[in-house]
Amino acid sequence: MKPFLLICALFAAFTAKSQDGIQFGTASWNETLAQAAKENKLVFLDCYTSWCAPCKWMDKNVFVLKDVADFYNGQFVNTKIDMEKGEGPELRKKYNVQSYPTYLFINGKGEVIHRSGSRMSAEEFLEEGRMAADPQRNTAALAKRYADGQRDVPFLLNYYLALNRSDRQTAEKVAGEITSKMTDSTLGTPLGWKVIKNLARSSNDKLGKFYLAHQNDFKHFAPAEEQSALTDRLLSSTLYQHIYAGREAEFYEGLKHFSKSSSKDHQQQAVMLEAEFLLREGRAKQYVALTDKAMKGVFKNDAEKLSFLARRISGKKEIDEKMKPFLPQAYKLAKKAVEIAPEEYSVQSTFGWICLSLKNKEEGLKAAQKARLLADAETSKIQKLAQELVDEFNKI
């Protein structure tokens, strides 16, 4: 009986640990550095603010996962500091923290060894931790090797990936160096695939153009789902270029990749792209026909996308004069979204702002008040915006 009880106790302890997520300390910054020096570990510092939505998302969806917690709790001394309170402002200035969340990996001497940030998946966040813990791959080590003159493509690609979330300007400079070194013979290799997958921007640039012309050559070492995702990304990016330039023939020809597909995801993407084109071209009648069909079809139960389409037309206090012919349709889209997801803050808020643009106080104030209640579960910044919407209706 005793062994059984022991097993139960160990299982309970293990479960509790996994539910705790990353264990963030509460000691002062100097005490945290001292602990890191004593244990010969890096400090993982999560730089956040109370109003940062991506910070809260990471707290709820990534930091709590067992694989993430096990790695970070084993590798680092973890702490999180609000950059607007206590020691935060001083640390924000010292480490030049300009966006949230920012993730700093710092040694016991207070030196930044690796830097990253933004909302990311669990696997991406784990990879940042692995890079930070690897003396050959963290940003400090790579920066030194770069300064010393190392320029081979595998190294440059690792350096780009390490910089991509923390220093976009330098990352793009490194990306340019990588691209200039790639020839047709090197692009059609496993290394070339890694370069293309990470650096290709559209079907018109050097890397994207080569990939789309030689897709079958990559099947031996590139997973099909990764190839498909890359193709979609490149073509979508090119279509946005056509939208912004007003190139109608090129746009509709390229749109066939999505609109003629049997995939629901592709069909939804086709609607989003064509809606943006029609919106920018000022074609309200065609826009209404397209989105009416989508409301009954591919977006029938998709409040998020319907609300997004409505928000593109009017999601703020001031509305562009060019958008006014689209306002009645924005109202229909937003109202449908509210019917589907009445408990979503962004959905209610969008409907409220559109009603404000239409001077529809009865429905708009109701939506605004609902959004304000839902905002209590959001950040202080969102609460402020929700209250602003209520206040605007009270002025009418």
Q: Is residue 223 helix, strand or coil?
A: coil
Q: Which residues contact 32 (CB under 8 A, 6 or more apart)?
A: 25, 43, 77, 79
Q: Where are the beta strands (DSSP E) in the chain?
A: 42-48, 76-82, 102-106, 112-117
Q: Is residue 220 helix, strand or coil?
A: coil
Whether the CA torsion 11, 16, 19, 21 is positive or negative: it is negative
17's tokens? 């640990």
Q: At what angle do helices 361-374 and 380-395 cross, to 10 degrees?
A: 160
Contact 161, 128 (CB under 8 A): no
With left for phi above 0 and alpha for psi between -120 and 50, is residue 175 left, alpha or beta?
A: alpha
Pairing mode of beta strands 76-82, 112-117: unpaired
Hunting for tokens 């592709």 — which residue is that? 266
Q: What is the CA radius of gyration of the chain?
A: 25
Q: Could you tell me which residues are beta bridge partners of residue 114?
A: 105
The residues annotated as belonging to the active site are 52, 55
DSSP3 helix / strand / coil % (the chain, rounded to 5): 70, 5, 25
Q: Could you tell me which residues are beta bridge partners of residue 81?
A: 47
Please give the Cα distance from 212 to 197 (Å, whole number): 12
Residue 236 DSSP one-character state: H
